[in-house]
Structure 1
Amino acid sequence: MVTGAGASTTWILDGMDMSSRLISVEMDESIQNIAKSVINDERVQFVTADGGVFIEESKGKKFDFIFADTWPGKYYYLIVELNWSTGLIIATRK
């Protein structure tokens, strides 16, 4: 969910096939612009938003993989608000 400067985003893109799509969310537009300037891949969609708001707006959508590099409280939203029951969540602790 977190773009940051794009390091994790590039690793995830490297492991994806060409038909997969990646939504990368970052609330700091200036940081996300760094990632946008170095990542030129049609499979990625950059969203500037708070991760919690993005999750709220994503209710009902399905995701196969979530990389959550965020504060621990948002993990609740991933599991409960998105009704997560399948796929893979990789969560990191800051």
Structure 2
Amino acid sequence: MFTDSVTAIPPGFDPIAQASHAIGFSMPSDLQTGAFLKAMVGAKPGGAVLEIGTGTGLATAWLLAGMDAQSTLVSIDNEQEYQTIAGQFLGNDTRLTLVCADAGNWLDANKDQTFDLIFADAWPGKYSHLDAALGLLAEGGMYVIDDMLPQPNWPEGHDQNVDRLVADLESRPDLHTVKLTWSTGLLVATRKGTAPSTTKLN
């Protein structure tokens, strides 16, 4: 039977989940979001991946599980306590670079970089610094965000932030967007290609 259950848990995920619970970390990525990220990043062999919002590394584990040996992942968070857990269980993976910094400042300072997949799971790169984040997206690259459906921890009025963000992304002529009622509500935006068409007219 086709179900929404996720059983193929990536290496490092379970101890990260236990350590997250121990410190009262209350913003974990959903299993379905993780499985989706693993599948999407697998379509970018040798790709450069950016995660904005490491948290304790739960989604990071899924991304690493889907990446090939030649891919790289830069993951940013400004909370050292949380990111230390990610480093403890995932830090030996040479494909991963953990950056403890304000993500907005990092985005502004790294406009020369290009990424094939960006998972924006923090306020910067999503509700602020959106142009800076999208400016790093390669042609054919995927920008992925979650929590687009109402969540119990949303503050009052946050639904308006979500509506504005979705409308902004859907209005951009250089992006293809799709909204998915999967997990906590996902949106994927793909940078359109700019190569000239080779179609021949008879």
CA deviation vs aligned residue, 1:1-47 (integer Å, no higher than 9, x gap)? 11110000000000000011100101011110011011121100000
CA deviation vs aligned residue, 1:52-93 (integer Å, no higher than 9, x gap)? 1111111111111100001222323312xx264620100124
Q: What is the CA–CA distance in structure 2 between the aligned matches of 1:10 and 1:73, rounded to whole Å?
A: 25
| Runs of 5+ consecutive residues of structure 2 not aligned to the other structure | 1-51, 148-153, 155-202
Identify the range of structure 1 (50-59 vs 83-92) with the bigger mean alpha-carbon deviation. Answer: 83-92
Runs of 4+ in 1 over 3 A off after TM superposition: none
Q: What is the CA–CA distance in structure 2 between the aligned matches of 1:73 and 1:7, rounded to whole Å?
A: 23
One-letter amino acid of the structure 1 residue matched with residue 59 of structure 2: S
Please list, as runs of the form range in 1=range in 2, the aligned pairs for 1:5-24 lying within 5 A after superposition.
Answer: 5-24=56-75
Asked if 1:64 corresponds to 2:116, the answer is yes
Please list, as runs of the form range in 1=range in 2, the aligned pairs for 1:1-94 lying within 5 A after superposition.
Answer: 1-39=52-90, 40-71=92-123, 72-79=127-134, 82=135, 84=137, 86=139, 87-93=141-147
Higher alpha-carbon Rg: 2
Higher relative contact order (CA 8 A, sep 6+): 1
TM-score w.r.t. the length of structure 2 is: 0.43
Summarize the Cα distance change of 1:63–1:85 in structure 2 as closer, same or farther, 3 Å threshold: closer
Counting matched residue pairs gives 92
The answer as to whether partners of 2:104 and 2:128 remain within 8 angstroms in 1 is no
Q: What is the CA–CA distance in structure 2 between the aligned matches of 1:60 and 1:20, rounded to whole Å?
A: 18
Q: What is the CA–CA distance in structure 1 between the aligned matches of 2:54 and 2:132, rounded to whole Å?
A: 18
One-letter amino acid of the structure 1 residue matched with residue 117 of structure 2: F
Summarize the Cα distance change of 1:64–1:83 in structure 2 as closer, same or farther, 3 Å threshold: closer
Q: What is the CA–CA distance in structure 2 between the aligned matches of 1:91 and 1:76, rounded to whole Å?
A: 14
CA RMSD of aligned residues (A): 1.6
TM-score w.r.t. the length of structure 1 is: 0.87
Q: What is the CA–CA distance in structure 2 between the aligned matches of 1:64 and 1:85, rounded to whole Å?
A: 5
The answer as to whether partners of 1:70 and 1:91 remain within 8 angstroms in 2 is no
